[in-house]
Amino acid sequence: MSLGTQINYNQVMSLNLPLYGVFAAALTPLKPDFSPHLDALPVLLDFLAQRGCHGALLLGTTGEGPSLACPERQAIFQTAQVVRQSHPRFRLLAGTGTPSLEETITLTRTAFDTGMDGVVVLPPYYFRKVSDDGLFAWFSQVIRTAVPSGGALLGYHIPPVSGVPLSLDLLSRLKDAFPDQFAGIKDSSGEVEFGRLLGQRFGHDLIVFTGNDRLFTSALQSQAAGCITAMANLFSPDLRRVWDCFATGQPDASAQARLDAYRGVMERFPPAPPLLKALLHVMHHLPAWPVRPPLLPLSAEATSQAAAELSSVA
């Protein structure tokens, strides 16, 4: 599909939430010297919007956020706003969590100052055995000093990577203390049961985005607001179909099955950023953006193999 092709998607219910739907955990275009390719970012976001994404998360795990310095991240936040000119309803989230409380506050404040719709915040992942009391104090300081009234902060629950889980009790404390600013969670635990418990305990009072494509339908059944996934860079039309069909009361098992199969292929070629950048170039003719070390580019052989396997699924 060419970049100029516009897909007309049906409008679906918003669940009365400020943030909902299919979000891409967007890649970060880089130049050969590994600096951010700011001119390419609006092109990528336009591509995602045209293929059915309601929005994008910038500088998360897939976006190599922890590898970029604060000034680089701030420039990306600002540049991303260009997508609003052609897609005014496209939502933008910013990954702002770092092990440093002060850096996290600075990035979070900057994200809102530049017009981001919300932030997704990793816990301080260097210290892996902190208590819920310590995490509550850390998130409270970020919210009080950097999240404006009406701003949306979502915790980033990805214990396989961060080593710091966000417990249900911690989420409840934060929601009670900051009902207007602590909006929800990106759940990248990959655990069906955790997603079910989130829905059971909070319902739609907490915005939940699943980070696992395989669990999208299951998460929606547990009252999730949508998904934020790496695969949305490539397969957002199927994710959007799952979302639209579920919203109309007719879940699409075939689209979910394709997502399951796609993810099965992609998990054989980790990590995600070099794989996705290589496949976007091969499958959709976007530039062959590099990844920043310690990540390395995917070999041509592996790229061809992955593309062939994904094509056979489609």
- Pick the closest to residue 271 from 295, 307, 300 (CA basis): 295
Count structural domains, the chain. 1
Choice among 125, 186, 217, 277 that is catalytic? 186
Question: CATH code at 189?
Answer: 3.20.20.70
Does residue 3 belong to any structural domain of this protein? no
Residues 175-179, mean pLDDT to the nearest whole number: 98
Q: Is residue 88 part of a domain?
A: yes
* 223 in any annotated domain: yes
The verdict on residue 225 lying in a domain is: yes
* Distance (Å, whole) CA 64 – CA 289: 13
Q: Which residues of 23-53 are buried (b: 16+ CB within 10 A; e: fewer)?
A: bbbbbbbbeeeeebbbebbbbbbbbbbbbbb
Query: Of 20, 125, 156, 262, which is the active-site residue?
Result: 156
* 215, amino acid identity: L
User: What's the CA gap between 264 and 249, in Å, rounded?
Assistant: 27
Residue 4 has pLDDT above 60, yes or no: no
Reply yes or no on whether 186 is catalytic: yes
Kindly state whether residue 287 falls inside one of the protein's structural domains. Answer: no
Average pLDDT value over all residues in the chain: 94
Share of the chain above pLDDT 70, in %: 95
Domain that holds residue 120: 21-248
- The answer to whether 144 and 180 are in contact (CB under 8 A) is no
The confidence score (pLDDT) of residue 16 equals: 60
pTM for the predicted model, two decimal places: 0.93
Residue 245: both structure tokens together: 């069909």
Closest listed residue to residue 178, CA positions, set 206, 158, 197, 199: 206
Active site residue 156: yes
Q: Give 229's Cβ-side CA count (13 Å radius).
A: 29
124-153: pLDDT as tens digits: 999 989 999 999 999 999 999 999 999 999
Q: How confident is the model at residue 17 (pLDDT cuts 50, 70, 90)?
A: low
303 within some domain: no
Q: Is residue 198 part of a domain?
A: yes
Residue 296 lies in a domain: no
Query: Catalytic: which of 28, 61, 79, 210?
Result: 61
Q: Each residue of 45-65: pLDDT tens digit?
A: 999 999 999 999 999 999 999
